[in-house]
Amino acid sequence: MKMKLLVLTLACAVSLPSFAADEPVVVIAKADVDAAASAVAADDDQQTEPGSDEVTSPSAEDLAGRLDSITEAFTEARNTLDNLNRMRFSGYIQPQYLNDERSINELTGVAATRNRDQFSVRRARIKFAYQFSPTSRFIFQPDFGTGGAPTLKDGYVEYTEPWTTWRNTLTAGQFNWPFGFEIMYSSSSREMPERSNVVRTLFPGERDRGAMLSGVGFGERFNYRVAVVNGTGTAQTFDFNKRKDVVARVGGTLGPLDLGVSLYRGAELVSLTGLTRGREFDKERTGIDFQWVTPVPGLGVRGEYIRGVQPPNPGVAQTVRAADVDGWYAYAIQNLGTRHQFVVRVDEYDPNTDTNNNATRTIGGSYIFHWDANSKFMFAYEQPELEDSDPDDNVFTLRYQYSF
């Protein structure tokens, strides 16, 4: 009895992997075939005249009629399916736990605290895409994360001209600023929890409202994007000045090396002390970026440098001028197999290049474990430090992401 039990257990254990196969196995039992045959026979019986044993075959007209009705039903079903096929859904959710050295167990108001250690849903986004013709599509992406009310991240219509191989595309609505690499690189793919300091500061929210022309050429080795936007980002409902901002990037691919040059030229109307109607300041950014697949297997390096002119914050004295700013970041990403990624990132942002000791440099790293095609875990640690001091503000993030 014990031996039988042992053999049975071993057999079950060995056969377990067979049931874990990815591809579904369809088994048609003989009983199913017999049942289907009986159903056909029963259907045939309905052709028999009452009181007669003779089985009459359906006429050619009957068959043609049946075929027409099946064709009609099939066409309707296919049209419905075609419409559904035009719709695409994708999305991801990022629950996380964050531990921040700045956390203090102290209330600063009835519903406010200096504690930053918490569980949260950093992003919860669903992207709807509807391809209403071969050359045009509609994109809508709300975000339900960060604990507040849902916000619109992307909402635009695209029209791609069908006449040339450049696939020139006009986009209108709310979309990413076409500047550099990190802004347009999806948060679901990024190897660190948040974008680098310089990008977060100079391009808050990463999106704006306007119209953009983009395309690819020379065997897809060259690409361009030019947009005219409000310049306010998405946090403000109105554009306070009449002048519109222009932002553009041109990029090229040289095998394992991708290069890009970006420009932003605009202005911002800022309210100052004693001058509530505001004064217009130039807002400028110039950037270069690169992404390199190194000869070391699985090692990728990317970086970006941005410099520009940043208007002052609202409410400052009228004597304050726009500041010259600059910043950069560099990533090194090492893949091991298909599941493991080790990442190091260094970034720096100087809010005024004319002043000493005010730049912030952040050194961070992460390990990413790709559980399967849909889910991954990220363990990240970041250490920001000033030029002359290192305050207690390091951050550890444990994040899980599920995408579909």
Partner 1 sequence: MKKTTITLLLAALAMPLFAARPITIKGSDTMVIMNAKLAEAFMSRNPSSTIQVTGGGSGVGIAALINGTTDIAAASRPIRTSEIDKLKARFASTGFAYPIARDGLSVYLNERNPVRELSLQQLQEIYTGRITNWNGVGGNDATIILYSRENSSGTYQYFKDNVLRGKDYAPRTQTLQGTAAVVNAVSKDPNGIGYGGAAYAKGIRFAAVKKDAKSPGIVPSLETVRSGDYPITRFLFLYTRTRPSGAMKSFIDWALGAEGQKIVSQVGYFPVK
Check: CB of residue 141 under 8 Å from CB of residue 188.
no
Dist CA 239 CA 280 (whole Å): 12
Kindly state the smallest distance separating residue 13's Cβ from partner 1, in Å.
Answer: 4
Question: Nearer Cβ to partner 1, position 134 or 148?
Answer: 134
Kindly state the smallest distance separating residue 334's Cβ from partner 1, in Å.
Answer: 8
Return the HEC string of 303-339. EEEEEEEECCCCCCCCCCCCEEEEEEEEEEEEEECCC
Question: Nearer Cβ to partner 1, position 119 or 163?
Answer: 163
Check: CB of residue 393 under 8 Å from CB of residue 101.
yes
Question: Nearer Cβ to partner 1, position 334 or 383?
Answer: 334
Kindly state the smallest distance separating residue 387's Cβ from partner 1, in Å.
Answer: 32
Q: Residues in the site for partner 1, rule: CB under 8 A?
A: 2, 6, 9-10, 13-14, 16-17, 23, 134-135, 162, 164-165, 185, 189, 216, 220-221, 253, 255-256, 258, 291, 293-294, 297-300, 333-335, 338-339, 370, 372-373
Kindly state the smallest distance separating residue 263's Cβ from partner 1, in Å.
Answer: 22
Any long-range contacts for 350-353 (C-beta under 8 Å, 24+ apart)?
Answer: 350/325, 350/326, 351/201, 351/310, 351/323, 351/325, 352/323, 352/324, 352/325, 353/307, 353/323, 353/324, 353/325, 353/326
Question: Nearer Cβ to partner 1, position 2 or 30?
Answer: 2
Check: CB of residue 166 under 8 Å from CB of residue 178.
no
Burial of 289 (0-12, 13-18, 19+ CB in 10 A): buried
Kindly state the smallest distance separating residue 69's Cβ from partner 1, in Å.
Answer: 19
Question: Nearer Cβ to partner 1, position 250 or 309?
Answer: 250
Check: CB of residue 58 under 8 Å from CB of residue 47.
yes
How many contiguous H segments (helices) and E segments (strands) does the chain have?
Answer: 4, 18
Nearby residues of 269 by Cβ (< 8 Å), 6 or more positions away: 240, 241, 278, 279, 280, 281
Dist CA 224 CA 226 (whole Å): 7
Question: Nearer Cβ to partner 1, position 9 or 59?
Answer: 9
Question: Nearer Cβ to partner 1, position 371 or 379?
Answer: 371
| CA of residue 147 relative to chain centroid, distance | 19
Kindly state the smallest distance separating residue 38's Cβ from partner 1, in Å.
Answer: 29
Question: Nearer Cβ to partner 1, position 6 or 36?
Answer: 6
Kindly state the smallest distance separating residue 190's Cβ from partner 1, in Å.
Answer: 9
Burial of 108 (0-12, 13-18, 19+ CB in 10 A): exposed
Kindly state the smallest distance separating residue 275's Cβ from partner 1, in Å.
Answer: 46
